[in-house]
Amino acid sequence: MPFNVEAIRADFPILQTKMAGKQLVYLDSAATSQKPKVVIEAIRDYYVRYNANIHRGIYELSEKATEAYIQSKEKAARLINADGIENIVYTRNATESLNLVALTYAAQNVRKGDHILITEMEHHSNIVPWQLLANRNNATLDYIKVDVKTGMLDRNSLSECMEKGPVIVSITQASNVLGTINDVKVIAKDAHSHGAAVIVDGAQSIPHMKVDVKDIDCDFLAFSAHKMFGPTGLGVMYAKSDMLDKMEPLFGGGDMIMTVTLKSHTWNGLPWKFEAGTSNIEGGIAFGAAIDYLNGLGLAAIDRHEKSLTEYALKRLGEIEGVSTFGPDLKYVDKRVGLVAFSVGGVHAHDIAQVFNDNGIAIRAGHHCAMPLVREVLKRDSLARMSFYAYNTKEEIDKAVDAIEKVKKVFKVC
Ligand X SMILES: Cc1ncc(COP(=O)(O)O)c(C=O)c1O
Distance CA(124)–CA(23), nearest Å, equals: 33
The answer to whether 282 contacts ligand X (rule: CB under 6 A) is: no
Active site residue: 161, 218, 369, 414, which one? 369
CB of 96 to ligand X, least distance (A): 7
The answer to whether 176 contacts ligand X (rule: CB under 6 A) is: yes
Task: Determine how many CB atoms are found less than 10 A away from the CB of residue 105.
Answer: 21
CB of 183 to ligand X, least distance (A): 16
Q: Which residues within the stretch 103-162 sit at the binding site for ligand X (CB under 6 A)?
A: 123, 125-126
Distance CA(351)–CA(348), nearest Å, equals: 5
Q: Are 313 and 284 in contact (CB under 8 A)?
A: no
Task: Determine how many CB atoms are found less than 10 A away from the CB of residue 390.
Answer: 29
- Contact region for ligand X (CB under 6 A) — 2-10, 90-98, 286-294, 311-319? 90-98
CB of 201 to ligand X, least distance (A): 5
The answer to whether 99 contacts ligand X (rule: CB under 6 A) is: no
The answer to whether 172 contacts ligand X (rule: CB under 6 A) is: yes
Q: Which amino acid, one-letter code, is at 19?
A: M
Distance CA(106)–CA(342), nearest Å, equals: 36
The answer to whether 93 contacts ligand X (rule: CB under 6 A) is: yes
Cα 39 from chain centroid (whole Å): 19
Per CB under 6 A, the list member of 66, 72, 87, 95 interacting with ligand X is 95
Helices and strands: H and E segment counts in the chain: 15, 19
DSSP element (H, E) containing 14: none
The answer to whether 387 contacts ligand X (rule: CB under 6 A) is: no
* Cβ nearer to ligand X, comparing 114 with 219: 219
The answer to whether 29 contacts ligand X (rule: CB under 6 A) is: no
Query: Has 369 been annotated as catalytic?
Result: yes
> CB under 8 Å, gap of 24 or more: what pairs does 54-59 form?
54/278, 54/279, 54/281, 55/255, 55/272
Distance CA(151)–CA(373), nearest Å, equals: 11
Binding mask 188-227 for ligand X (x = CB under 6 A): -------------x-xx-------------------x---
* Cβ nearer to ligand X, comparing 125 with 343: 125
- Contact region for ligand X (CB under 6 A) — 80-88, 93-101, 212-220, 330-338? 93-101
The answer to whether 280 contacts ligand X (rule: CB under 6 A) is: no
CA dihedral 197, 235, 350, 28 (to 10 degrees): 110
As annotated, the active-site residues are 369
Site for ligand X, rule CB under 6 A: 93-95, 123, 125-126, 172, 176, 201, 203-204, 224
